[in-house]
């Protein structure tokens, strides 16, 4: 059985809705976001050839590098971009990073969007569920929003109810799938 991805669950339950964004703009934004993620991933693995980096990506990478420096973070390649599954709840997802920041295991979700979406809180809670089911105890959840100015914004998420919201969304998603709606 193919398990649904976290974002697929959030979309299917109506917590992510980009129907108001013209498809061409949405597709460009998604491709750009994927490129930002790939650039930060290659940087964190120490294999990024900066000379081949597209100019629009440079400030986003600079923002990521500044974040890492400001918080004195060393990224372990084993603590990033791995797909996890939940056999208990029946979903899968790929958290961005889960480094130790100030002696606290921190789930870090990287965004390059111009505005923060409320669904990111729920997305990070889902990743927390996945990591914890797989033996990695998360102490805090953060979204790091990178931007075209080469800076970043950290948005901490602290509501324990976010996990319940995700599990409710998963229940709605599964019900809709079962009923064909």
Q: What is the token pair recorded at 100? A: 């130790």
Query: Which of these ranges, 14-28, 36-50, 70-84, 148-162, has the smallest mean pLDDT?
Result: 14-28
pLDDT score of 147 more than 80: yes
Structure tokens at 57: 């990506």
Is residue 21 over pLDDT 80?
no
How high is the pLDDT of residue 115?
Answer: 81
CB-based contacts of 82: which residues, under 8 Å, 6+ apart? 94, 95
The domain ranges of the chain are 6-179
pLDDT of residue 44: 97
Helices (H), 47-114: 58-70
pLDDT of residue 50: 92
| Nearest-angstrom CA–CA distance, 181 and 179 | 6
The reported pLDDT for the residue numbered 114 is 82
pLDDT of residue 16: 85
Q: Binning pLDDT at 50, 70 and 90, where does residue 116 land?
A: confident
Contacts of 85 (CB under 8 A, 6+ apart): 3, 91, 92, 130
Maximum alpha-carbon separation in the chain: 51
Calpha distance 130→124 (Å, rounded): 10
3-class secondary structure, 159: coil
Which residue has better confidence, 154 or 25? 154
- Determine the pLDDT at residue 1: 63
* The token pair that represents 129 in the structure block: 């569920």
Is the model's pLDDT at 160 over the cut of 80? yes
Which residue matches tokens 């013209």? Answer: 22
Higher local confidence (pLDDT), 107 or 28: 107
The yes or no reply on domain 6-179 and CATH 3.90.1520 is no
Q: What is the mean pLDDT of residues 86-108?
A: 97
Q: Which two tokens stand for residue 181?
A: 């709606």
The Cα–Cα gap between 162 and 118 comes to 11
């Amino acid at each position: 059985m193919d398990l649904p991805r976290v974002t697929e669950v959030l979309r299917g339950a109506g917590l992510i809705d980009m129907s108001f964004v013209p498809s061409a703009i949405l597709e460009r934004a998604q491709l750009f976001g994927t490129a930002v993620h790939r650039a930060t991933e290659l940087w964190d693995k120490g294999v990024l050839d900066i000379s081949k980096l597209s100019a629009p990506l440079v400030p986003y990478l600079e923002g990521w590098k500044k974040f890492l420096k400001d918080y004195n973070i060393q990224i372990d390649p084993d603590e990033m971009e791995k797909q996890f599954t939940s056999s208990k709840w029946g979903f899968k997802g790929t958290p961005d990073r889960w480094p130790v920041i100030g002696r606290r295991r921190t789930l870090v979700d990287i965004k390059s969007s111009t505005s923060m979406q409320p669904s990111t809180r729920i997305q990070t809670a889902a990743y927390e569920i996945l990591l914890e089911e797989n033996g990695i105890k998360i102490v805090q959840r953060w979204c790091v929003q990178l931007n075209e100015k080469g800076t970043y914004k950290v948005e901490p998420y602290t509501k324990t109810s976010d996990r319940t919201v995700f599990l409710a969304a998963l229940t709605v998603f599964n019900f809709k799938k079962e009923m064909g709606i």
